[in-house]
């Protein structure tokens, strides 16, 4: 390593002529791989990744009875969002529960993340283990576990709050989000020295003042990113929501899931297109917040992949 570091910069990247004799012919194949094959492969994969999304966007302008069979171009499906109460209500339920769940998950996750970063101890591995367990449990298992539980709490124990559709959806959507927010906030604070908080305490700030004026602002980029990711996750939550929902508060993805059986109509694609734009906006905000906070592309990728 030191040898490399001491070499003059212009020699660090040897030109092809200086490569070891005899390996010249063999080196040609890798160069072709990196020059042509890899970019070509990446392009194909990007086309693959965007193909269905593009198809949904195009088909959102389909004026026909069924989404799948193209009739002709028009904006009827977008108008239907406003005029059809079922569609509009489902979207509103999603936005509302997504927002509440995101606020809740951000509050709990931020507190937990700060606690993990600033009071390390034997409990941290346990808590991290629990968060890991939550993030690896298949959603369908969460769903079938939560349904009997809320029914038990609401009907057998008579805690009527658990019969409320919004409450149930918020609970279901919050679990995974709490794990994500805790990871992100912890990762950010672990990377920052606790000296500022110690200084604040030394200057006779009360613990709460230190928390509100020093710790929280330090964690803020992670908190914001966590909030937006939670909101997006809440909007997308399908499986758990499908199980715990109460008729009357059907969130958007569950509406789509049930429409699968009765026949998909173009307004589903129209709402999806609008949601896509919303999600992109939220993601761009997350990336911007993280970049302002000094994260590299790799850090942002790690955060977005869920810690």
Partner 1 sequence: MRKLRIRFGLALPAWVWLLVFFVVPIGVVVWYSFGYKPSIFSTNANDKLSFDRYVEALSPTFFATFQNTLWVGIAGTALCLIIGAPVAYWIAVKCAPSRRGMFLALVMVPFWTNFLVRTIGWQIILAPEGWLSHALQFLGVIPGPLGILNTRGAVLLGVVYNYLPLMILPLFVAFDRVSGPLREASKDLGAGSWQTFFRVTIPLAQPGIIAGVLLVYIPLMGDYITATVLGGAKGNMVGQIVASQFQTAQNWALGSAMAVLLILTIALSIGVMAAIGWLVTIPIRRSYRLTLEDAR
Exactly one of 15, 69, 247, 262 binds partner 1 (CB under 8 A); that residue is 69
Contacting range for partner 1; rule: CB under 8 A; set: 44-52, 75-83, 84-92, 216-224 = 44-52
For 198, other C-beta atoms within 10 Å of its C-beta total 12
Tell me whether residue 47 or residue 79 sits nearer to partner 1 (CB atom): 47
CA separation, residue 214 to residues 1, 115, 221 (Å): 40, 14, 13
For residue 236, the number of C-alpha atoms closer than 13 Å in the C-beta half-sphere is: 12
Instruction: Verify binding: residue 52, partner 1, rule CB under 8 A.
Output: yes
Tell me the torsion sign for CA atoms 267, 270, 274, 280. Answer: positive
Q: How far is the CB of 20 from partner 1 (least distance, A)?
A: 5
Count Cβ atoms within 10 A of the Cβ of residue 110 and give its class: 0-12 exposed, 13-18 middle, 19 or more buried: buried
Beta-strand pair 72-73/62-63: antiparallel
Does 4 sit near partner 1 (CB under 8 A)?
yes
CB 239 within 8 A of CB 146: no
Of 61-69, 79-87, 95-103, 218-226, the window that binds partner 1 (rule: CB under 8 A) is 61-69
Candidates 8, 9, 10, 13; binder of partner 1 (CB under 8 A) is 13
Q: How far is the CB of 256 from partner 1 (least distance, A)?
A: 6
Query: What distance in Å separates the CA atoms of residue 115 and residue 184, rounded to the nearest whole number?
Result: 13
Count of residues of this chain found to bind partner 1 when the rule CB under 8 A is applied? 104
Enumerate long-range contacts of 194-203, CB under 8 Å, 24 or more apart: 194/118, 197/118
Q: Which of residues 174-233 bind partner 1 (CB under 8 A)?
A: 174-175, 178, 182, 201, 207, 232
Q: Between residue 98 and residue 137, which ones bind partner 1 under the rule CB under 8 A?
A: 107-109, 111-112, 114-116, 118-119, 121, 123, 127, 130, 133-134, 136-137
Q: Which of 36, 45, 86, 159 binds partner 1 (CB under 8 A)?
A: 45
Contact call for residue 258 and partner 1 (CB under 8 A):
no
For the bound state, the minimum distance from the C-beta of residue 229 to partner 1, rounded and expressed in Å, comes to: 9
Sole window of 18-26, 72-80, 81-89, 218-226 interacting with partner 1 (rule: CB under 8 A): 18-26
Choosing from 61, 253, 267, 270, the residue that interacts with partner 1 (CB under 8 A) is: 253
Binders of partner 1 in range 275-294 (CB under 8 A)? 275-276, 279-280, 283, 287
Q: How far is CA 218 from CA 213, 253, 307, in A?
A: 9, 35, 19
State both tokens at 203: 């200057």
- The DSSP annotation for 240-258 comes to HHHHH--TT---HHHHHHH
State the minimum distance, in angstroms, from the CB of residue 154 to partner 1. Answer: 13
> How many Å apart are CA 251 and CA 223, to the nearest integer?
25
- Among 82, 86, 140, 212, the residue binding partner 1 under the rule CB under 8 A is 140
Nearer to partner 1, 111 or 196 (CB): 111
């Amino acid at each position: 390593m030191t040898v490399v570091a001491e070499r003059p910069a212009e020699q660090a990247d040897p030109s092809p002529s200086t490569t070891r004799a005899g390996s010249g012919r063999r080196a040609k194949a890798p160069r072709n791989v990196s020059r042509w094959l890899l970019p070509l492969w990446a392009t194909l994969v990007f086309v693959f990744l965007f193909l269905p999304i593009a198809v949904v966007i195009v088909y959102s302008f389909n004026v026909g009875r069924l989404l799948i069979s193209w009739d002709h171009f028009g904006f009827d499906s977008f108008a239907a969002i406003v005029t059809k109460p079922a569609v509009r209500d489902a979207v509103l339920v999603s936005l509302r529960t997504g927002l509440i769940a995101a606020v809740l998950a951000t509050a709990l996750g931020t507190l937990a993340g700060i606690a993990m970063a600033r009071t390390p101890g034997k409990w941290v591995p346990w808590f991290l283990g629990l968060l890991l367990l939550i993030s690896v449990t298949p959603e369908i298992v969460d769903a079938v576990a939560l349904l009997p539980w809320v029914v038990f709490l609401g009907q057998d124990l008579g805690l009527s709050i658990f019969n409320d559709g919004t409450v149930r959806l918020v609970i279901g959507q919050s679990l995974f989000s709490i794990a994500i927010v805790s990871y992100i906030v912890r990762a950010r604070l672990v990377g920052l020295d606790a000296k500022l908080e110690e200084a604040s305490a030394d200057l006779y700030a009360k613990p709460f003042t230190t928390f509100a004026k020093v710790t929280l602002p330090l964690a803020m980029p992670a908190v914001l990113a966590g909030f937006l990711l939670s909101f997006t996750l809440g909007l997308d939550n399908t499986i758990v929501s499908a199980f715990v929902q109460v008729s009357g508060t059907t969130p958007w993805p569950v509406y789509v899931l049930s429409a699968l059986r009765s026949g998909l109509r173009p307004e589903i694609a129209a709402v999806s297109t609008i949601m896509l734009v919303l999600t992109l906006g939220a993601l761009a905000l997350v990336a911007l917040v993280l970049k302002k906070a000094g994260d590299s592309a790799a850090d942002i990728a790690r955060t977005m992949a869920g810690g």
